[in-house]
Chain A
Amino acid sequence: MKRISLLFLCLFLMMAWLSGCATFETEKKAVPYRLTAQGTVIWEDEFEFLPPPPDWKLLRVEGEGGDIDFGFTRSDPGTFPSMTTFAYDEEPFGCSTKFEDREREFFKRFLFNAILQFRVLEKKKAQVLGGEGLEVVVEGKDPVKKEKVRAKVVFGKRGERIVGFYITQWRHLDGTYDLSAFEVFDKFVKSFKLLKKSFYETL
């Protein structure tokens, strides 16, 4: 009798466990993206891009006014703060619709809290989103916290407005940068396509 009771208990627990699995499956939240057969990601039917390798985690930030900001982040080996993050930004800092002016405005506030003095390593015109764009590579150092950051910012146009992509790689002052992360970022930017007009273009 005791053995039969134990058997029923085991069966009940197994049923409960399986029904729990089913519940988890139905409670999955809808994600704002889908994968294509070509290996690209379509984000909210608005953007298409090549995602980074699986060791990069998705990062999503609600921008001011509901604009879309998303990116990817990765913890790097080494002492704090070894981390790389890149993102698409619908409304990068600044207001100007001219690239050179926007770059000046942007770097007034980029990583503002870190209080870094940036040194421009490279600046060049580039093809971005199928049109004219600007790429700027900078490095900032904080000798007090003994941290440094290498960043690349890419400005492009979406309609009349400037949009941006940026990557930041933080390291201890004595650390070395991993430039392969910048190659992943470059592939992301190069693959990025706008699938429809922005809200502002439809007004």
Chain B
Amino acid sequence: MEGHQRNLYLYERFNARVLGVSRDDVITLKYFANSLDLTFPLLSNVTSFLGVSVDAQLDGRPIFSRRTVIIDKAGIIRYVRNGSPDFKDILLFLKKLNQKGRLDPTTGGKP
């Protein structure tokens, strides 16, 4: 999460926004965000519905485990990686997507 916070200015440059999703409750997330000085939203996803709703739930697993998902303006999942985020890979991917226009809000997600 700290890595995402460091990269916020770059995400903004690539017209991307970051959301953290956790199964922890709201009070725990507030404490966590405060301890790391995070300024981007953290969503409390205690029932794991978010993973299901964006179709990013791992098959056969009842929980939304650590994954990085990039969704474009049209709601299409463009990138899914399991495990700890590879920040350089994420940034390169966002840069590429932005250059193609898929994350440009003025084009409605169309290239």
Chain A residues at the B interface, C-beta cutoff of 8 Å: 64-66, 91, 93-97, 105, 108, 160-161, 199-200, 203
Contacts and interface: CB of A to CB of B under 8 A. Distances in A.
20 contacts: A64-B84, A64-B87, A65-B3, A65-B85, A65-B87, A66-B86, A91-B3, A93-B2, A94-B2, A94-B37, A95-B2, A95-B6, A95-B37, A95-B38, A160-B9, A161-B6, A199-B88, A200-B10, A203-B10, A203-B95
B37 A105 contact: yes
Interface bin, chain B: 20 to 34
A6 to B, nearest CB: 60
Contacts of A160: 9
Interface of B: 2-3, 5-6, 8-10, 13, 35-38, 84-88, 91-92, 95
Contacts of B10: 200, 203
Classify the secondary structure of A's interface with B.
Answer: loop
Nearest to A101: B37
A91 B2 CA distance: 10
B87 A96 contact: no
Nearest to B13: A203
A65 B2 contact: no
